[in-house]
Structure 1
């Protein structure tokens, strides 16, 4: 490696790095831009020279060449419900699931030098503005959290040239968009099997919204497994994946089946609202009523008693979404791939 003297009065340039590394400017450029064909010894020399000169890449200039922004959008698409008093943004940030998704994405994006932008779409106007913004090339790709079957965004993104990956399976199985999900039906079946093994016979479930694929798949998986155990009479009340919704749905469930002895609540956050209703009705958990949730989020540990639940590995799933998206950004010709993770039953004190 050559002399590492660099004038202190100005930032280091590619030429400075090349001089210190003893290589050409073109080799330095290839290393900094992530070319895979550089000899490992030359790559190490350039990386050492970058450290020695404290060279900082000019991302603005680089983006003119690569047409990359080094940023991706996390788009949360949730239609505004005017009947719900709490604002959509407040409900989103209070849901532990969202924080786990962000954590898993950043685990992969940060080391890659990619920034994460949060964007919201809660009505038709904001959806139109968002699609226009994305099509103008402000980001390199999109991670989309879209839970309702009627949402137009998955189809709009699939039809665009922008790399995208969906959190959860698309409502249309033939939609050419990458996706990452947990096996929702298999997870709900684990809950049913556990309640049956405990001897529960008068069972019910608080579902998620049934216009969401996750809500429908969890219900279908639970009722199918219960039927295999000879329990085709599952009492069902629809919830909304919120703590308040869980309390409301549990009240309705007890009205319909006062002698309930086992409940599958389709999210931990709803279970956090449902358990106090059982306590106020004098029903001991798990002695009188066994309760199983879904997610294995921080809400499961906040429940009293702590919640037996179906774990979906949210951080690992989000990291897989980020890796899949970066692969599509680096090679747009790659096919849109989908991956489904296995769920796991986590037994605690509620069942």
Structure 2
């Protein structure tokens, strides 16, 4: 005999709440008490209830689906661990809210146009836009606004800032703190391996380093730009040491570049941290297992993902754009004294 399908009415009865309360829980949890949400969630887990998304879409006019739009070449999704870390955080948060995720990339102008046609067709309710290496393609944010598509950007948007919801970390203060920490640990000639020009986060990290050195009355400025990868960190470190062999402190704008720099320093006969102290940025898993373990500025990726999802859901429901800036945390390990 065919098993009876569990309905929203069944969940409401077993949870001791109204169907409207269950419906609010399934649509993001607004106006549902913590106690009621816990009961509903437990009953859903016990019964294996799955919402009828087709019926819900017809009733609400929404797809209950969100796009994660990587505004950069697809290979960077796999080359830069930060993308996959944030994507996992976002997917987990959407899963908790019963929403689906579509992954989209923009390898070319033609693909960007196809993406915009797909979004205009109403397949998703909103977009989470990430473009850390080169910044979002010119006009992409404006194009999303033009079709009234709710969007949250994982970076301070250089354009359309007032009209755009965003979540980012305090790159300026993070870079300044890393530079000051190197000085406090005795470094007197501090260099920086920066990220590519373009994204606001990359620019802010250079400003933080520059202003901290001015505050410390140290100089000269010693900056080489990489692409956030380990090989670029290795190349940049070798260039910096060639420019100034007296460098005894190095701040890299990503963990991968910091670890590449440590490899270059080892090749040049420099010990880390005895000869040169190194601080990274991100706190990826590789920072914990590097040799020596890497002192770094930790990005709160779980919180970034949660805030992006919450702000996007609020936009979908008619809320106003919100800008969120999150602090970083200095994690001290063996690459500094």
TM-score, with structure 1 as normaliser: 0.84
The equivalent of 1:338 in structure 2 is 323
Q: Which residue of 1 aligns with 2:127?
A: 142
Distance 2:47 2:100 in 1: 25
Q: Mapping of 1:1-351 within 5 angstroms?
A: 8-9=1-2, 11-12=4-5, 17=10, 28=19, 30-34=20-24, 56-78=50-72, 80=73, 88-89=74-75, 91-147=76-132, 148-149=134-135, 151=137, 152-172=139-159, 174-329=161-316, 331-332=317-318, 334-351=319-336
> CA separation in 1, counterparts of 2:259 and 2:128?
28
**Rg: which structure is higher?**
1
Using the TM superposition, name which of 184-193 and 305-314 deviates more.
305-314
State the 1:183 CA deviation.
0.4
User: What is the distance in 2 between the residues matched to 1:274 and 1:135?
Assistant: 45
The gaps in structure 1 that reach 5 residues or longer are 1-7, 81-87
After TM superposition, give the deviation of residue 240 of structure 1 in Å.
0.6
Aligned-partner Cα distance in 2 for 1:52–1:295: 38
CA distance in 1, matches of 2:161, 2:35: 46
Q: Is the 8 A contact 1:271 1:303 kept in 2?
A: no
Q: Distance in 2 between matches of 1:43 and 1:316?
A: 21
CA distance in 2, matches of 1:219, 1:295: 15
Q: CA deviation at 1:99?
A: 2.4
RMSD: 3.1
Contact 1:201 1:261 in 2 (8 A): yes
Q: Distance in 1 between matches of 2:215 and 2:40?
A: 63
Q: Determine if contact 2:283/2:296 at 8 Å carries over to the other structure.
A: yes
Question: Structure 2, unaligned stretches of length 5 or more?
Answer: none
CA 200–44 in structure 1, closer or farther in 2 if over 3 Å, else same: closer
C-alpha distance 139-280 of structure 1, shift in aligned 2 (>3 A): same
Whole-Å separation in 2 of the counterparts to 1:94 and 1:140: 29
Would you say the 8 A contact 2:152–2:166 is kept in 1?
A: yes
